[in-house]
Amino acid sequence: MGTTSSAPSERFFVSTSMLTIGSRGSQLALWQAHWIQARLQELGQESRIEIIKTTGDKITDVALSEVGSKGLFTKEIEEALLAGAIDLAVHSLKDMPTDLPEGLTLAAIPVREDPRDALVGRAFEDLAPGARVGTGSLRRAAQLRARRPDLRIEDIRGNVDTRLRKLDEGRYDAIVLAAAGLRRLGWEDRITELFNPSVMCPAVGQGALAVETRDDGGSAFHIAERLEHAETRAAATAERAVLAALGGGCQAPMGSYAYVNDAILYVIGLIISPDGSKLIRHAKHGSIAEAAALGHALAEQLLAEGGREILDAVYAQPSEPRLSEPQLSEPQLSEPRLSEPRLSEPRP
């Protein structure tokens, strides 16, 4: 990933005091916080990291899609930010609700990592009928069912290292994780296959970080905004506009992915029934300045062409029935087969 460099003349907004970064305590969250800390250090800004436990961290025995609450991994961190206990917060952008608390702002969205979903274990086409594939995401589960209704899609919980351990114990034949998390934690060699976004639409904001500060024009905001990556911001704006218009959350099987090519912004969106039997997918493109409008228009098209009925049916039920995690079994897994980790941009 690229880094943000600075010239001596750009150090005007560096605070003379130590800034405190709020972060969750998972291995991936701390990697992300340390990455931001290193970028701030390059700008001449000293900082420390404060670990904050969120509601989502405390839920270990229930699928998050069943909780149906927004801000599961951000609420307590944002409360600390508003209270002045921390100066900035580092989040995975896909964890962030589209509506921020009053008084807070996304000061920066840095350059994005790989947004794709990754299969770990066995290649998709090599999975035998009835093979067990683990995912904790309704979006991933529905798209897997649409492509391979013969597979057993089973729930999996835990941090990245926990999920890899469960795979290695033989509880699953393969699992689906975000490629960005695997790469950030040094587990890129565990990736067997990368799903093209035109095949498996990623979650909104997947692979991107969000640096949140108070909306007070203070030193934390000004130093953080120098980590901004314009193309990632445009893509994230379009994707989050889709999410906002659909009213989606972790309980909704929907996705959106946007990218910039030759100064044109392309955005795709998807709504899919939990069983994978009904799928609505469309794409739009336009200028970067139209990012929010493009996302909103795409969402309206998805809703008008059958997506509204899918979402109404999903929201009418408390949650999708949750499968229990499989217990340890004996079968041995084949060695992972690596695929070339190059991002193929979907055609609009």
Positions annotated as catalytic residues are: 95
Give the tokens for residue 236: 């994230």
For residue 320, what are the contacts with CB-CB under 8 A and spacing of at least 6? 65, 138, 274, 314
CA distances, 5 to each of 101, 129, 232, 266 (Å)? 31, 50, 17, 28
Q: Establish how many alpha carbons lie within 13 A of residue 140's alpha carbon, considering only the half-sphere containing its beta carbon.
A: 25
DSSP strand pairing (264-272 vs 254-261): antiparallel
Cβ contacts of 295 within 8 Å, gap of 6 or more:
237, 238, 239, 240, 241, 242, 244, 245, 256, 258, 267, 269
What is the chain's percent helix, strand, coil content, to nearest 5? 35, 20, 45
Inter-residue contact 155 to 136 (CB < 8 Å): yes
Contact between residue 4 and residue 227 where contact means Cβ atoms under 8 Å apart: yes
- The letter for the amino acid at 174 is A
| CA–CA separation, 201 and 266 (whole Å) | 13
CA 216/CA 116 separation, integer angstroms = 35
In the DSSP assignment, the letter for residue 163 is: H
